[in-house]
Amino acid sequence: MKENIAILLPCYNEGKAIAKVVSELKRVVPQVIVYVYDNNSQDDTVEQALSAGAVVRKESMQGKGHVVRRMFSDIDADIYVMMDGDGTYDIHSVPVLIDCLIKEKNDMVIGTRSNNKEAFRSGHQWGNRLFNGLLRVLFKSHFTDIFSGFRVFSRRFVKSFPALATGFDIETELSIHALEMNLPTMEIETPFHERILGTSSKLRTFRDGFLILYRMGFLFKEVKPFIFFGLISLLFFISSWVLGYPVIKTYFITKWVYRVPTAILAAALMILSFVTFTCGLILSSVTYGRREMKKLIYLSYSLPSA
């Protein structure tokens, strides 16, 4: 391939596996440069990666999101391959994903993980289905494995992606960016292997799960503010009518307002409803302008040639 291809491996304490992963990558796709970004590892990750022929760089801010942001900022390439350094993703699938990106003119190709119950931690398959379903409802997503860290990107995707996540919510942000911009994407099922002996997952089930849920809700507000604030406005509107209807009915019959505190509360809720609805309209216009700017940046870069 004549394209400049960079393989990016964010790593934290992957000394047991990283040398094997780098060596296998250089054998399967010899024309690429393998970058290992060390995230404050306390083992021999750096030494092992260097011995295998990788270019090693460091990111001091802890968290996968910080590492991905640094990688995307530092590296200049036509095609970016991102995967973990623990040996769970199938290295022989890398050329397949790259080929799909180039020939199908995609901006992101996700290597979805095969249903290997032995490789997945307990409960993670259920959680993966739950979050994929939630993303489908909120963003009309077609993705089936949004937590896969095995992805291939075009240059224009990477350089138009404003990475803000700090931890394992980075994959969610990548997926929502593609959905918001209506970018051409594809999923290809790939084998998912058990971890190399001596390595362990850095994902904390509940803490990172809540972080991902928060990120999803935050991005829903940012990407679709009219719907977000419209739902809040509707809640205020219904609450106002539920509280205010008996007061209004009594007034028309008796010409007196007997429940003054309830009437004041109902009026306040109705005002909040209109204010919230107006906020949604204004922020929707702001979001549209931001999306236009990201699209212009995206269009300033070209796709790899077939």
Domains of the chain by residue range: 5-222, 225-298
Buried b (16+ CB within 10 A) or exposed e, 22-51: bbebbeebeebebbbbbbebeebbbebbbe
pLDDT reported for residue 118: 54
Q: Count CB-CB contacts under 10 A for residue 207.
A: 11
Distance (Å, whole) CA 93 – CA 6: 15
Counts for the chain of helices (H) and strands (E), in that order: 10, 7
pLDDT reported for residue 177: 95
Distance (Å, whole) CA 98 – CA 104: 10
Q: How big is the chain, counted in residues?
A: 306
In this prediction the pTM is 0.86
Distance (Å, whole) CA 71 – CA 19: 20
Q: Which of 168, 174, 109, 100 is nearest to 135 (CA)?
A: 174
Task: Give 263-275 as a 3 state SS string.
Answer: HHHHHHHHHHHHH
- Angle at which helices 64-74 and 170-181 pack, to 10 degrees? 50
3-class SS at 280?
helix
Question: Which residues are registered as beta bridge partners of 92?
Answer: none
Distance (Å, whole) CA 274 – CA 270: 6
pLDDT reported for residue 259: 87
Answer for the pair 190, 113: CB distance below 8 angstroms, yes or no. yes
Q: Does domain 5-222 have CATH number 1.20.140.10?
A: no
3-class SS at 108?
strand
What the block records as the tokens of 232 is 């809040």
Distance (Å, whole) CA 122 – CA 142: 25
3-class SS at 22?
helix
pLDDT reported for residue 124: 65
Q: Where are the alpha helices (DSSP H) in 5-123?
A: 18-28, 45-51, 64-74, 94-103
Q: Are strands 5-11 and 55-58 parallel, antiparallel or unpaired?
A: unpaired
Residue-level pLDDT, tens digit, the chain, 306 residues:
556 999 999 999 898 899 999 999 999 998 889 999 999 999 899 999 999 999 999 999 999 999 999 999 999 999 999 999 888 999 999 999 999 999 999 999 999 988 655 555 655 677 788 899 999 999 999 999 999 999 999 999 999 998 888 888 899 999 999 999 999 999 999 998 887 776 667 777 778 788 889 999 999 999 999 999 999 999 999 999 999 999 999 888 888 888 889 999 999 999 999 999 999 999 999 999 999 999 999 999 877 765
pLDDT reported for residue 195: 76
